[in-house]
Each structure stands twice: as structure tokens, then as C-alpha cells.
């Protein structure tokens, strides 16, 4: 790679806006011409912080912008990634408001699913009806860690967690009671952190309240032939042939929902609730593929 980089430096033609190309190990560094940079800065200086509507002429007007962050999970505490998302999301919101846009900060609480049932099952087996003696979202997270430790010794635990998920989706009273208790502990812990960072949401969506809407949309489009079924009965979107993306499962073979199940419905909900011009998500770069798949499915 180092030799290739040095060869490229010698052979690459310099565009007008590049002053120098330099090989540093296996990497190429491109140095912009300061005069070109300044020229563009002066040309665009009045437009910083503005988003333009899609119109024939460049014409600025305030937009309605929804920013979704930090996407919490009620099976474990907030981690540094959530904090990063909160700082970025809050900063974006402040900048857009400074430029007179109308901004709506929202959060999606991922409060149901197999990851939640892992913590629930661990508490059910080893929690002994304990109450939190530490920050409550950390207390809940301890049982998520406990599940991971015990699963290494007993791989059948995951099957019990799926059984618990099916009980939750069938609205089993005992399962729902345990879920409500642990969910409350997690949310109370999150709220402590939100206050410290001065984070406030105009609306907090809960996966537990919207996942069935996503399932209905998926099943409706399955009937229309837009989505397909695997041999074992899972519903998926065929993205590979036309879009060059991996196919995406939308419903498990047993009919239980996935993250994307509720994200599909949430996109419709946010449009209905806020009639936005722009909808932004603050997420980790590791989720790039997931969101490419989600946006393609929505299209």
C-alpha cells in the first residue's frame, strides 16, 4: 500500500482546487488551495446553517425539522454512544433554531423485544425481587450482563427469552407486570441523565406502543406482493436485485417484530405528528447499512 500511494502521488493529475498531494504511509493527503477555500467561504457565508427547500430557485424559508435521538434501550444504561448522540442532536437543534427553523426533538424508546426479555429473564431467575440500590438504569443493565454470563453456561436460556417475548406479545399479565417495573426503573435512570445534559424531548415514542402498526403495514404490503416470505415463514424486503443492498427481514418467522418493524411505522407517525420538511436521525456510523435498508424499504 505504501508503494501504491507513492506511485499515485506521481501519476495523479492535480485538479484546480488541489495545491498538493502527499503520501503519508499508505494514505494520500490532499491539500486544498487556500484561495479556493476562501472564495467558497465568502460565496456561501450567508447560507451557513440553512437548509433549502427543493425548489427551482434557491430560496430560503424556515423549515419544520424533526431530529430523532438518542434511541434508548430500556434493558441497559445509557452509554457513551447515547451521550454522543444527545450532544450532537442537541447541538443540531440549537443551530437550526438559531437560524429560525422550527425544530422538534424526539426520542424512540426501544422498550420491547428480545434484548428487553434477556434482562427480564435474568431478573426473574436471579433478581430475588430486589429494588434498585444504585442509579436505576444501571441496576437494570446488571441483569442484561447477568444474562450474557449465564448464557455462556446454558445456551438454552435464549429459548426461554424468546418464550418470554411471545408471552409479552400475547399480553400475559405476569410478564407485562415485570416488564412495566423494569421499564420504569430504566426510564427513571435515563431521566436523571437528560436533566444533567439539559435534554428535553417534545415527544417520546415507545416501541411497545407502535410496533403493531409496523407489523400491519408489513403484512399489508406482503399481500400486495411488495414484500416476500422466506421458506421458514419470515417476511423480508428483497433489496438485493434492484438496490444492491442485502435483503432485510422485517418480521421473524414466528411473527414477532424487529427494530425495523416499528421504524417503518414511526416514519409515518412522525410525518403525521409534525408534518416535517426534514427528518434527521442521529445514530452511530455502524448503522449506515441499516438506515440505507430502512430508507429503501420506505421508498
- Judge whether 210 lies within some domain: no
In angstroms, the CA 187 to CA 137 distance is: 7
> What one-character-per-residue DSSP string does 8-28 give?
HHHHSPPPTTEEEEEEETTEE
- Judge whether 25 lies within some domain: yes
Q: How many domains does the chain have?
A: 1
pLDDT at 56: 47
Q: What is the largest CA-CA distance in the chain?
A: 71
pLDDT at 65: 97
Domain that holds residue 38: 1-54
pLDDT at 243: 94
Q: Long-range contacts made by residues 97-104, C-beta under 8 angstroms, separation at least 24? A: 98/49, 99/49, 99/50, 100/62, 101/51, 101/62, 101/63, 101/64, 101/65, 102/62, 102/63, 102/64, 102/65, 103/65, 103/66, 103/67, 104/64, 104/65, 104/66, 104/67, 104/202, 104/203, 104/274, 104/276
Q: Which three cell numbers stand for residue 59?
A: 430560496
pLDDT at 55: 46
- Judge whether 187 lies within some domain: no
- Judge whether 8 lies within some domain: yes
pLDDT at 50: 62
pLDDT at 255: 86
Instruction: Look at strands 102-110 and 18-24 and give their pairing.
Output: unpaired
- Judge whether 221 lies within some domain: no
Size (the chain), residues: 299
- Judge whether 43 lies within some domain: yes
The alpha carbon of residue 179 and the mean position of all alpha carbons in its chain are separated, in whole angstroms, by 22
Beta-carbon contacts of residue 37 (< 8 Å; ≥ 6 apart): none
Helix 173-196 to helix 114-126 angle, to the nearest 10 degrees?
Answer: 110
Taking the whole predicted model, whether its pTM rises above 0.85 is answered as no
pLDDT at 5: 93
Query: Which residues of the chain fall below pLDDT 70?
Result: 46-59
pLDDT at 59: 59
- Judge whether 90 lies within some domain: no
**Which CATH number does the domain housing residue 30 bear?**
3.30.1360.70
Query: Of 107, 83, 91, 105, which is closest to residue 49 (Cα–Cα)?
Result: 91
- Judge whether 235 lies within some domain: no
Amino acid at each position: 500500500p505504501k508503494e501504491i500511494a507513492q506511485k499515485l502521488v506521481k501519476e495523479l493529475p492535480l485538479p484546480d482546487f488541489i495545491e498538493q498531494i502527499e503520501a503519508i504511509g499508505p494514505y494520500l493527503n490532499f491539500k486544498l488551495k487556500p484561495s479556493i477555500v476562501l472564495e467558497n467561504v465568502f460565496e456561501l457565508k450567508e447560507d451557513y446553517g440553512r437548509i433549502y427547500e427543493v425548489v427551482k430557485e434557491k430560496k430560503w424559508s424556515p423549515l419544520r425539522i424533526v431530529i430523532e435521538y438518542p434511541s434508548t434501550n430500556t434493558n441497559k444504561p445509557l452509554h457513551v454512544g447515547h451521550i454522543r448522540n444527545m450532544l450532537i442532536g442537541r447541538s443540531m437543534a440549537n443551530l437550526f433554531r438559531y437560524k429560525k427553523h422550527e425544530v422538534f426533538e424526539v426520542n424512540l424508546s426501544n422498550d420491547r423485544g428480545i434484548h428487553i426479555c434477556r434482562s427480564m429473564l435474568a431478573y426473574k431467575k436471579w433478581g430475588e425481587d430486589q429494588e434498585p440500590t444504585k442509579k436505576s438504569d444501571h441496576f437494570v443493565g446488571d441483569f442484561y450482563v447477568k444474562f450474557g454470563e449465564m448464557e455462556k453456561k446454558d445456551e438454552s436460556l435464549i429459548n426461554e427469552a424468546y418464550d418470554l417475548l411471545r408471552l409479552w406479545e400475547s399480553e400475559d399479565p405476569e410478564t407485562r407486570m415485570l416488564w412495566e417495573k423494569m421499564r420504569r426503573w430504566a426510564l427513571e435512570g435515563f431521566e436523571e441523565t437528560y436533566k444533567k445534559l439539559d435534554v428535553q424531548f417534545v415527544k417520546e415514542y415507545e416501541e411497545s406502543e407502535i410496533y403493531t402498526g409496523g407489523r400491519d403495514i408489513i403484512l399489508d404490503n406482503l399481500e400486495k406482493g411488495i414484500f416476500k416470505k422466506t421458506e421458514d415463514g419470515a417476511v423480508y424486503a428483497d433489496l438485493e436485485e434492484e438496490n444492491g443492498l442485502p435483503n432485510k427481514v422485517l418480521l421473524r418467522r414466528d411473527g414477532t417484530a424487529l427494530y425495523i418493524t416499528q421504524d417503518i411505522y414511526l416514519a409515518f407517525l412522525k410525518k403525521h405528528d409534525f408534518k416535517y420538511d426534514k427528518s434527521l436521525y442521529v445514530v452511530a456510523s455502524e448503522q449506515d447499512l441499516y438506515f440505507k435498508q430502512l430508507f429503501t424499504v420506505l421508498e
